[in-house]
Amino acid sequence: MDLMHLAIIFACLAAGGILKGATGAGAPVLAVPAIAMTFDVKFAVVILVVPNLLTNLWQGWRFRHALLPAPFVVGFAGAGAAGVVAGTVILAFLSQQLLSLIVAGAVLAYILVRIALPNWQIAYTLGQKLSVPMGFLAGLLQGASGLSAPASLSFLNAMRLERPKFIGTISAFFVAITSFQIVTLIHFGLLSAHYALISLAAFLPLFAFMPVGAALAKRFSRENFDRVILVFLGCIALKLVYDALAG
């Protein structure tokens, strides 16, 4: 891997760290499609697993007292763990073109939900009933594309949780699914010792730029920050679709 490739990966991870620092979640939403646009989906998914695990362990510990009730968290995270195993099977056997289209579709779905349903709200009683199916869907997307956000973040955002409860609950969910994802990636030979070291190194730029995101979030309104991110994501998704169809 030459210096240019390393610089691209660093920039993508830094952008993901900025988003996570600003919002508390969503680093893969930027980093996975951006890395996949230059390399491939499998590489992007593998590179993000260790940063995902470590950053969410850190956030989960910080907000460990702000979790939703145990039945919700256990059902949501447990179903996500089952879904990520099924999704990793898809990742292991589908072609690069189809995987790129899945990533692009997941990103576009996330954008559409954010635009079409800005005031969508789910009551806690309904959210508890939906936690298992939504957890499984989010895990399936995470395993197949590295992006659970269209299901996981949209679902918890719609419950209008307080920021500490949102971060604590989504962090617990990500820790659970990423732990199972790592085991499944190793089983299918997608996460080698070499890639594990690269993934561990990828944690550094992502974590280092999280404070930058937190600082930017104080300077710009949430609405303007979201608009910039959504436009950027839309361009990446369209580029992935073009590359997949042209290839």
Half-sphere exposure of 145 (CA within 13 A, CB side): 29
Give the pLDDT mean for 2-28.
82
Alpha helices in the chain (DSSP H): 3-23, 27-38, 41-62, 70-93, 96-116, 124-145, 152-158, 163-187, 193-208, 210-219, 222-246
pLDDT in tens, 38-58: 888 899 999 999 999 999 998
Half-sphere exposure of 200 (CA within 13 A, CB side): 7
pLDDT at 49: 94
Does the pLDDT of residue 76 top 90, yes or no? yes
Global pTM reads 0.84
Angle at which helix 193-208 crosses helix 41-62, to 10 degrees, equals 50
Report the distance separating Cα 218 and Cα 215, nearest Å.
Answer: 5
CA nearest neighbour of 202 among 13, 11, 4: 13
Boundaries of domain holding 155: 3-246
More confident call, 135 vs 162:
135
Which amino acid is present at 110? Answer: Y
Average pLDDT across the chain, whole number:
87
Instruction: State the total domains in the chain.
Output: 1
More confident call, 80 vs 148:
80
Structure tokens at 113: 């939900």
Radius of gyration of the chain (CA): 17
- Which range of 32-46, 50-64, 100-114, 223-237 scores highest in mean pLDDT? It is 50-64
Report the distance separating Cα 140 and Cα 28, nearest Å.
Answer: 15
CA nearest neighbour of 87 among 8, 153, 174, 147: 147
Angle at which helix 193-208 crosses helix 210-219, to 10 degrees, equals 30
Structure tokens at 96: 């690069």
Report the distance separating Cα 82 and Cα 199, nearest Å.
Answer: 23
Report the distance separating Cα 94 and Cα 68, nearest Å.
Answer: 36
pLDDT in tens, 189-221: 999 999 999 999 999 999 999 899 888 877 877
Torsion of CA 51, 29, 109, 94, to 10 degrees: -50
Report the distance separating Cα 218 and Cα 101, nearest Å.
Answer: 35
Structure tokens at 136: 């499984």
Element housing 94 (H / E): none
